[in-house]
């Protein structure tokens, strides 16, 4: 097989222009089925190393699973590692894609429109901003939206994880426990807020709305919420954050205000991203199995591609407390 054939060779053999070859192998509109067939015959005969799409057009498969993320940050990076590991022996490749900065809220719909049918066989949506998506390809959502969704979903037990975090702080002796909430349109954030309140109630601690701020899982927003909370005359002695990045922001704000962690303020995060263990001091957090979330999403999406019957389409994985150096008993009253 001559693997040095060029797109010009294919165009000559098929009797079409280079532009037509490009359209045909990339599945673009404006090329008749007869011309597409002629181009693909030339590709096969010449051994032209065409694009990923061209090599799969006859099988109507690309061999690619798309993972759509709002941003490449620690949580989504760990999900991508889990997806990549689960795909390693399947013959499928991974395509990570984000259009959030360009398209804003609802970017998933536009991204899927661009990718479905020509670049990917299925999609995994990580922390989507939409409830349901109509698509030509199977979809699984990781850390799903709050709305009632028909999509298969994979998530962690955020409610129990939040309860574990607050219960641990209560065991240490804390009574004024603040909370920096996550993105309110995600089911995980709602569950973590509910778990926080449930744990306070179980400990007989009244809920104080002054001790709650919204960080939206974003460091800059969490910083603002932390500044407001730690400026209170009767500030909290501990803060539970809905994700690790927010928790690390709280620690930075505490230092700026002259507070020592954990001597003056205890902090607990959620996720256990690699940055949590590397932080100084190491962050006490709730570990969710992020790589396994990605692997479970792959398992479901591959089953959908092969038409298997799924015994369950909503998977929830356990969480657990990881104690490090940002938590201690509350300071003694002066």
Q: What is the CATH number of the domain that holds 22?
A: 1.10.260.40
pLDDT at position 36, please? 80
Q: Both 182 and 150 in a single domain?
A: no
> Residue 1 domain-assigned?
no
pLDDT tens column, 173-188: 999 999 999 999 999 9
- Burial of 62 by CB count in 10 Å (0-12 exposed, 13-18 middle, 19+ buried)? buried
Split at pLDDT 50, 70, 90, the class of 58 is: very low
126-153 pLDDT tens trace: 999 988 887 888 999 999 999 877 899 9
Statement: residue 249 has pLDDT above 80 = yes
Same domain, 168 and 96: no
Sign of the torsion formed by the C-alpha atoms of 254, 256, 261 and 265:
negative
End-of-domain residue from the set 253, 273, 288:
288
Asked whether residue 111 is domain-assigned, the answer is yes
Do 268 and 198 belong to one domain? yes
For the purposes of burial, counting CB atoms within 10 Å of the CB of 69, is it exposed (0-12), middle (13-18) or buried (19 or more)? buried
What local confidence, expressed as pLDDT, does residue 31 receive?
65
Q: Do the domain assignments include residue 2?
A: no
Whole-angstrom CA distances from 333 to 109, 209, 264, 327 are: 54, 23, 11, 17
**pLDDT confidence tier of residue 52, bands split at 50, 70 and 90:** very low
Structural domains in the chain (count): 3
In a domain, 35, yes or no: yes
On whether both 246 and 224 belong to a single domain, the answer is yes
DSSP 155: E
Domain membership of residue 18 (yes or no) is yes
Instruction: Report helix, strand or coil for 156.
Output: strand
**What is the average pLDDT across 30-56?**
69
What is the structure's pLDDT at 27? 56
Mean pLDDT (whole number) for 195-206:
98
Q: Indicate whether 307 belongs to any domain.
A: yes
Percentage of the chain exceeding pLDDT 90: 67
Q: What is the pLDDT of residue 253?
A: 98
Inside any domain, residue 322: no
Any domain includes 333: no
Nearest-angstrom CA–CA distance, 176 and 211:
8
Are 218 and 267 in a shared domain?
A: yes
Whose tokens are 């993105």? That residue is 183
Identify the pLDDT of residue 56: 47
Do 19 and 98 belong to one domain?
no
Which pLDDT value is given to residue 37?
83
Same domain, 310 and 202: no
**Are 282 and 162 in a shared domain?**
yes
Q: Of 166, 163, 165, 169, which is closest to residue 329 (Cα–Cα)?
A: 169
Quote the pLDDT of residue 230. Answer: 98
What share of the chain in percent tops pLDDT 70? 90
122-126 β-sheet, strand order: 93-97, 64-69, 122-126, 139-142, 153-156, 314-317
Could you say which DSSP state residue 238 is in? Answer: E
Q: 311 and 252, same structural domain?
A: no
Report residue 2's pLDDT band, with 50, 70 and 90 as the boundaries.
very low
Q: Does one domain contain both 182 and 269? A: yes
145 with 168, same domain: the answer is no
The confidence score (pLDDT) of residue 117 equals 67
Please choose, from the candidates 197, 198, 265, the residue with its C-alpha nearest in 3D space to the C-alpha of residue 232: 265
pLDDT tens digits, residue range 261-315?
999 999 999 999 999 999 999 999 999 999 999 999 999 999 999 888 888 999 9
How many residues are recorded in the chain? 334
Quote the pLDDT of residue 118: 77
Q: Is the pLDDT of residue 51 over 70?
A: no
What's the domain range around 101? 64-155+291-315
Question: Which domain CATH number covers 271?
Answer: 3.40.50.2300
Q: What are the CA-CA distances from residue 207 to residues 12, 212, 239, 246, 328 (Å)? A: 75, 9, 14, 21, 22
- Same domain, residue pair 263 and 164: yes
The pLDDT value given to residue 41:
84
Query: How do residues 75-95 score in pLDDT, each as one tens digit?
Result: 999 999 999 999 999 999 999
Q: Indicate the average pLDDT of the chain.
A: 90
């Amino acid at each position: 097989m001559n693997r040095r054939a060029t797109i010009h060779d294919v165009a000559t053999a098929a009797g079409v222009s280079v532009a037509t070859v490009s359209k045909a192998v990339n599945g673009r509109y404006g090329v008749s089925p007869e011309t597409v067939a002629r181009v693909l015959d030339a590709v096969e005969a010449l051994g032209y190393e065409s694009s990923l799409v061209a090599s799969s057009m006859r099988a109507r498969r690309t061999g690619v699973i798309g993972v759509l993320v709002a941003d490449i940050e620690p949580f989504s990076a760990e999900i991508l590692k889990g997806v990549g590991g689960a795909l390693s022996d399947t013959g499928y490749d991974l395509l990570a894609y984000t259009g959030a900065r360009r398209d804003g809220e609802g970017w998933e719909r536009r991204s899927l429109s661009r990718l479905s049918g020509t670049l990917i066989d299925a999609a995994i949506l990580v922390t989507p901003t939409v409830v349901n998506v109509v698509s030509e390809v199977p979809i699984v959502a990781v850390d799903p939206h709050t709305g009632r969704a028909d999509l298969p979903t994979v998530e962690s037990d955020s409610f129990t994880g939040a309860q574990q975090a607050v219960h641990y702080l209560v065991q240490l002796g804390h009574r004024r426990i603040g909370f920096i909430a996550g993105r309110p349109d995600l089911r995980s954030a709602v569950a973590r807020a509910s778990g926080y309140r449930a744990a306070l109630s179980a400990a007989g601690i009244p809920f104080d709305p002054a001790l709650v701020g919204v960080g939206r899982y974003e460091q800059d927003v969490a910083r603002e919420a932390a500044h407001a909370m730690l400026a209170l005359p009767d500030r909290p002695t501990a803060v539970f954050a809905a994700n690790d990045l927010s928790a690390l922001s709280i620690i930075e704000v505490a230092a700026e205000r002259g507070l020592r962690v954990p001597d003056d303020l205890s902090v607990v995060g959620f996720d256990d991203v690699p940055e949590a263990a590397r932080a100084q001091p190491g962050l006490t957090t709730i570990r969710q199995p992020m790589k396994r979330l990605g692997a479970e999403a792959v398992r479901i999406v591959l089953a959908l591609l092969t038409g298997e019957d799924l015994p369950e389409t909503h998977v929830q994985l356990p969480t657990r407390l990881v104690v490090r150096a940002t938590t201690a008993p509350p300071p003694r009253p002066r």
